[in-house]
Amino acid sequence: MIGGRLIILILYIVGVYVFSFIIGVANLFTFNNVSLESLVNKTFDYIIVGSGSAGSLLAKRLSQNKNLTILLIESGGDVRPGFLDIPSLGLMLQGTAYDWKYTTVPQKWGAYGLAGNRSKWPMGKLVGGTAQFNNLMYLRGHPDDFKEWYKDLPSFDYKRDILPYYKKLESTGDSFLSRLPFTSSAAEYALNAFKSLGYNVNKNQLDSFVGFGSPYVNIKNGKRWTSFHQLLSHDRPNVFLLSHTTALEVLFRSNYEAYGVKYIRSGETVVSLARHGVILSAGVIGSPKLLMMSGVGVKSHLQSVNIETKLDLPVGDNLQDHITTGFSLVTFNDTLDFGVGISTMLNPLTALEYFRTQSGPWTTVGCEVNGFINTKNPKNPLAQPDLQLMMLPLGIEEDSGLYLRKLMGISDATWYNYFHHVNKSIAVLPVLLHPKSRGTVRLESKNIDKQPLIDPNYLSVEDDVETLYEGIQIVKKFVDAEPMRNLGAELNALPLPGCEHLTFDSEPYWFCYLRHMTYTAYHPVGTCKMGADDASVVGYDFKVRGTNRLYVVDASVFPTLTSGNVNAAVLMMAEKAADVILEQLFLKTGFCCILEIFKMKTVCEI
């Protein structure tokens, strides 16, 4: 038995290194559909920086007008081996050449169980962006989330202003919304446990209302299906993709009208011009970084890194992230098999099932049961939740610390004195949906190659700890529910390093636990806040305040976090932004277009 386990682990780690090698080689090549020489001082209608969820969807929507030309700039590579679309392999991209490999600054109030008190923030550095290795969950959020976003607009109506964009995403021919294609045996046990505790259980979830179920996912025919996949599926000769290209600066005229982008590729610095607008979709880190490099940001900070301030705006403020905890807290006898362990994933029959039918364990997205709870008003099924609970059928001890714990940045002391002693677990993770803690993104220097200083300021507000503590109480009830007791589930009572001096299961112990076991849920937002007040960077038209023809469209514009995974909301906002940008274009050019119609021309050139 031990020998068999050893062989599986050897095959696993060899597979990890081979995978990373293949990605590294693929990253050396490119299939750009435009030559660098042809771009010098060339004018496009729009330049989009970033080919992730928002940037790719915007390129698709804007390019539906055949008269518009779009330059899509991507820092990462564009060679995507086909196996990257296998849903279960998304996690394997972390730490490779396709990852920005961001790390936060040491945290003062939490993350004590991580190496150097630093949280690792993987983000996609390839065409498709982070959607290429997220867990594919599609959740609209709660209607009250968006009321908070548009609180300065009394006329705001969720059903009129937001919901139609979600439905457009979900109903078009390109729709990538599907039911969860695979669940392990652990999912049914977990749903039964939550049902026995009195929670509403629905088979599938779309909106973040109180209750438990299985999430919808971005999978098509057993494969990862993102907005970049959609863009590729259409013949759009008016979209010009430029990968392995680093945007250096947005160029402004004296009236702060954006007219182009300076970028570097293959050691050459080039300027391309934008006739109608520059759109930043480089993400919650990349977009504020580029704005600050362009002289748009907090004046005192820009002066500290010797960048001339053009516009004094709170760029990089308002950073928020969903925080989670609880890995390896629900333990079992090590002989229990839920059908998604390393041995199953490496089984040739599992591979054969996937390639023959596009189904089976390789289509797992990790999270198989998802739930929402309002701890202040648990009986109201329509209340805005403050906690999300995600059940993953594996613990991070599954690979004996060879890979997963390194991705999460768990310190050696925490690993060897805690996780290393766990034989078998599932993850039932309470996620703090609406943290009050706020952080920042700042430049370390004006050198574009330097990683920015990311400080989420985790758990700096005590209310955040108290809400997560309520989540721990729910996990305890889950473990004690009859369906879980019948499986032999137990609460992990191993003394956590740093909290050994406290009585296990006491309130002080759990508060200590939460400040040590503080993990990102990989949903940062907010660094280019949208709104109408002085704390905002962009207005409700997605235009950077004080500028013209410069837009930001990605998760950085979210004023607050949504209730649940944020990717669906990013796509929804990109749909909305496309309408706003095209409407502004029509207002500028519509009169000329009408004149063309009266001249009996069938096409109005823009």
560, two tokens: 């607050």
Write down the pLDDT at residue 597: 47
pLDDT digits 0-9 by tens, 138-181: 999 999 999 999 999 999 999 999 999 999 999 877 887 888 99
Residue 535 has pLDDT above 50, yes or no: yes
Share of the chain above pLDDT 90, in %: 84
3-state helix, strand, coil in the chain (%, to 5): 35, 20, 45
Is domain 2-588 in CATH 3.50.50.60, yes or no?
yes
Rounded to whole angstroms, how far apart are CA atoms 439 and 269? 33
Helix, strand or coil, per DSSP, at residue 155:
coil
Name the least confident of 318-322, 381-385, 435-439. 381-385
Helix, strand or coil, per DSSP, at residue 584:
helix
pLDDT digits 0-9 by tens, 475-513: 999 999 999 999 999 999 999 999 999 999 999 999 999
Distances in Å between the Cα of 75 and the Cα atoms of 100, 231, 242, 526 are 10, 18, 8, 21
Q: Is 246 annotated as a binding residue?
A: no
Dihedral Cα 567, 569, 574, 580, nearest 10 deg = -170
258, two tokens: 């954006």
Residue 598 has pLDDT above 70, yes or no: no
Write down the pLDDT at residue 591: 46
Share of the chain above pLDDT 70, in %: 96
Q: Which of 517, 488, 492, 515 is nearest to 505 (CA)?
A: 492
- Which parts of 281-336 are beta strand (E)? 296-297, 311-312, 323-324, 330-331
Residue 518 has pLDDT above 90, yes or no: yes
Write down the pLDDT at residue 595: 46
Angle between the 163-171 and 567-598 helix axes, to the nearest 10 degrees? 90
Write down the pLDDT at residue 208: 94
- Yes or no: say if 364 and 339 are a contact pair by the CB < 8 Å rule: no
Write down the pLDDT at residue 33: 66
28, two tokens: 């050396």
Per the DSSP assignment, residues forming a β-bridge with 427 are 392
Distances in Å between the Cα of 115 and the Cα atoms of 120, 257, 356, 379 are 10, 44, 42, 40
**For residue 596, which amino acid is it?**
E
- Yes or no: say if 522 and 121 are a contact pair by the CB < 8 Å rule: yes
* Burial degree of 10 (CB within 10 A; 0-12, 13-18, 19+): exposed
Residue 337 has pLDDT above 90, yes or no: no
Residue 460 has pLDDT above 60, yes or no: yes
Name the least confident of 28-32, 111-115, 342-346. 28-32
The confidence band for 370, taking pLDDT boundaries of 50, 70 and 90, is very high
* Burial degree of 135 (CB within 10 A; 0-12, 13-18, 19+): buried
Please compute the mean of the pLDDT values over residues 339-348 and round it to a whole number: 91
Please compute the mean of the pLDDT values over residues 350-375 and round it to a whole number: 95
222 Ramachandran zone, left/alpha/beta (phi>0; psi -120 to 50): left
CB atoms within 10 A of CB 129: 32
Average pLDDT of the chain is 93
Dihedral Cα 350, 356, 361, 364, nearest 10 deg = 150
Residue 606 has pLDDT above 60, yes or no: no
Rounded to whole angstroms, how far apart are CA atoms 606 and 588? 10
What's the predicted TM-score (pTM) here? 0.95
DSSP type of residue 430: E
Rounded to whole angstroms, how far apart are CA atoms 112 and 493? 19
Burial 264-293, CB ≥16 within 10 A → b, else e: ebeeeebbbbbbbbbbbbbbbbbbbbbbbb
- Which parts of 170-283 are beta strand (E)? 177-179, 201-205, 211-220, 223-224, 239-242, 246-252, 258-265, 268-280
The confidence band for 323, taking pLDDT boundaries of 50, 70 and 90, is very high
Name the least confident of 103-117, 164-178, 245-259, 355-369. 164-178
**For residue 588, which amino acid is it?**
K
Going by C-beta distance under 8 Å and a sequence separation of 6 or more, which residues neighbour residue 145? 208, 384, 560, 561, 562, 563, 569
Write down the pLDDT at residue 238: 94
Residue 11 has pLDDT above 70, yes or no: yes
Please compute the mean of the pLDDT values over residues 41-64 and round it to a whole number: 96
The confidence band for 202, taking pLDDT boundaries of 50, 70 and 90, is confident
Please compute the mean of the pLDDT values over residues 47-76 and round it to a whole number: 97
pLDDT digits 0-9 by tens, 264-292: 998 999 999 999 999 999 999 999 999 99
Q: Which of 538, 119, 59 is nearest to 317 (CA)?
A: 538
- Yes or no: say if 278 and 260 are a contact pair by the CB < 8 Å rule: yes
